[in-house]
Structure formats: C-alpha cells, structure tokens
Amino acid sequence: MTTVGDQIRLFTGSSNPELAEGISKILKKDLGQLVLGRFKDGETRVMFKDTVRGRDVFIIQSTCPPVNENLMELLLTIDAAKRASAGHITAVIPYFGYARQDRKDAPRVPISAKLVADLITTAGAERVLAMDLHVDQIQGFFNIPVDHIFSRPVMHRYFQSHSKKLNMLIVSPDAGGVERSRLLAERLGVPLAIIDKRRTGPNQSEVMHIVGDVKGFDAILFDDIVDTGGTVVKASEALMKAGARSIRVACTHPVFSGEAPRILQESVLAEVVATDTIPVPPERRFKKLTVVSIANLFAEAIRRIHEHRSFQGLLE
C-alpha cells in the first residue's frame, strides 16, 4: 500500500493506542504527538505537540470503559484541533459508547446516544468513522457525515478459514441483529437461525425459542456487543439443548464487563472471537478468546476519506 499524503495527521487518545498503532503502520504514517494527562483536580488535559493547521486530522478514540473519561478526552481533543485551525477533523470511533441508549424505552429517561452525537458535533468534528453501531439509526443522530463500517469482512475471512472443519450455521441472537447475521450467512453460504428472546431488564434477557433447525450444526452467534456475557451464555445453552454440535460467538465489541471473562470461559462455548475495537488487557483475556484485528479496515477507510474516494467495495 502506498503512503498517504503529508496533509494527513493521525492522533490517538488513551483508549486504544494499540489499534491506532496498527492503523498507522498500515498507512505508513507515524502517529502525531498528543499530550494527554490529568490536572491535580482530575480534569483532563490535552495539547497537540505537532502543528495541525490546515491538515486533515483523524482522532482515533473508542469511547469504551472508562466511558466518560474516554468521551471527554475525545471531545477535548476535537476542540483542541479545531482551535488549532485543523483543516478537517474526523472522529474515528471504533466503539461508540452509549449506543444502546438510542430511544426512550421507559418514562423520564434520556436518549443518551443522541446527546453524545450532539456533543461530538458541537466539539468540532466534521465527520465520524465508526464500526458496527448498535443500531443503524444512530447515523441520523448526527448532523455531520457518518461513515459506518462493519466487522463482517473480517469475521467472514476468519470463519472461512475454518469452513473445512466446521458445519457452520450463523445465529442471530435477537430479531434486531437479523440483517447483520443474514449478510454474514450469505457470504459464507451457510444457513441462518434466529433466537427469539425477551429482555427482562438491563443486561438481562430470557431465551424464548429458536427459529430454524440447528441440530448437528456448529453454530456461530454473531452479535455486535458482548457485555456481561449472560445473554450469549443463555443463548448457547438453548442452542445446545436444540441439538447444536458446538457453539461459538463472534462479536465486534468485547466490552466484557465484570465477571464476563470467567463466565464465558466456564460456559459451553467452544470459542469467543472478538475484534480489537476495545482492548482486552492480558489479565482479562481467557483461553477461549480469539482477537482479530480490524486495523486494515480502518486504515483503508481513513485512506478513502482523506482521498475523497468512495467506500464502494470496502464493506464487503
């Protein structure tokens, strides 16, 4: 791949520097120098050490846990770039936090995803690049362009390499993920099943029944987020009772809150495949976890944005 032009500047926040390093190596463009720290009272401190005047600035920052600190760091970095006369500012957000609060599902609650979108726009971002937003309509929460890319091509390559060993079937863990799962199933040329579940509270759900024949298949639950692990473990147990030969999980965003690593390791799951939109520190990794990188996808997306080229073909 050719080197991107001198007008581009890549910077990373503190949420996922390993992914940013991977992107920079693919683009053959060093990360810019950005001072990130805390004042004595705990307030976030941000300062660019490199000039960004007139440059095409890309700020790479997942708003993963600690969500509020990473979000504030992103907002201040965008504001600093704007005030330093950056030519164009793109917020590269591999994992968009607060995405699950996308509507009023109870009285007197906020639509947090919309508020965060407004904050990013107000801070000065002129474009957002994100992966596997929890729901597609979040793109409409922004008043600036949103380039929405997907982990599907990476998952397709990974499982295609295992196709000779597995009698694969893709499973959507809920009705909302059917389109995501169907596209992966079509690419792999395998059947699709759907789990009908009822959400009983935050991070809680109950499997009702399975739509489709899973008997004898190596089922792959394809979801955007694995948080506490409870939902996918219940789904995997239901699939095993229905006759599935083995169960795997493919997820884009490994939030892995609380006891999730232990719960997933001790479950009937054969493997958990996740991307690196969120870093999983060594102490929270487990034997069943496989991490695949999406650095190539983000690098190519950044290149196309910078060169004003179409995304056609990138998503597949």
Could you tell me the residue ranges of all domains in the chain?
A: 8-150+296-306, 152-293
Give me the amino acid identity at 5: G
Mean pLDDT of the chain: 94
Give pLDDT tens digits for 299-311: 999 999 999 999 9
Per DSSP, the three-state class of 73 is helix
198 has a pLDDT exceeding 70: no
Average the pLDDT over 65-72 and give the result.
97
Q: What percentage of the chain reaches a pLDDT higher than 70? A: 95
| Nearest residue to 269 via CA among 246, 292, 291, 287 | 246
* C-alpha gyration radius of the chain: 20
Q: pLDDT tier at 2 (50, 70, 90 boundaries)?
A: very low
The residue ranges of DSSP E strands in the chain, in sequence order, are 8-12, 34-38, 44-48, 56-60, 88-93, 127-131, 146-149, 168-172, 192-201, 204-211, 218-226, 246-254, 271-275, 289-292
**Per-residue pLDDT, 205:** 56
Known active-site residue 40: no
CB 133 within 8 A of CB 142: no
Give pLDDT tens digits for 137-182: 999 999 999 999 999 999 999 999 988 889 999 999 988 889 999 9
> Which residue of the set 28, 49, 165, 197 is catalytic?
197
**Per-residue pLDDT, 313:** 83
Per DSSP, the three-state class of 298 is helix
Q: pLDDT tier at 199 (50, 70, 90 boundaries)?
A: low
Average the pLDDT over 52-80 and give the result.
98
Q: Count how many Cα atoms sit within 13 Å of the Cα of residue 104 in the half-sphere of its side chain.
A: 4
| Nearest residue to 247 via CA among 205, 215, 284 | 215
- Apex 19 CA angle, 3 and 70, nearest 5: 125
**Per-residue pLDDT, 1:** 47
| Nearest residue to 231 via CA among 172, 156, 275 | 172
Q: Kindly report the three-state secondary structure assignment for every residue of 192-235.
A: EEEEEEEEEECCEEEEEEEECCCCCCEEEEEEEEECCCHHHHHH
152-293 CATH choice from 3.40.30.10, 3.40.1180.10, 3.50.50.60, 3.40.50.2020: 3.40.50.2020
CA distance 118 to 138: 11
Q: Residue 292 is encoded by which pair of tokens?
A: 């695949």
Asked if the domains 8-150+296-306 and 152-293 are classified in one and the same CATH topology, the answer is: yes
**Per-residue pLDDT, 316:** 67
Give pLDDT tens digits for 276-297: 999 999 999 999 999 999 999 9
**Per-residue pLDDT, 200:** 59
8-150+296-306 CATH choice from 3.30.70.2190, 3.40.50.2300, 3.40.50.2020, 3.40.50.300: 3.40.50.2020
**Per-residue pLDDT, 204:** 59
- Low-confidence winner among 10-19, 49-58, 205-214, 239-248 (lowest mean pLDDT): 205-214
Average the pLDDT over 192-198 and give the result.
86
Average the pLDDT over 265-279 and give the result.
98
Whether omega for the bond prior to residue 66 falls within 30 degrees of 0, making it cis, is yes
Give pLDDT tens digits for 10-25: 999 999 999 999 999 9
Q: What percentage of the chain reaches a pLDDT higher than 90? A: 87
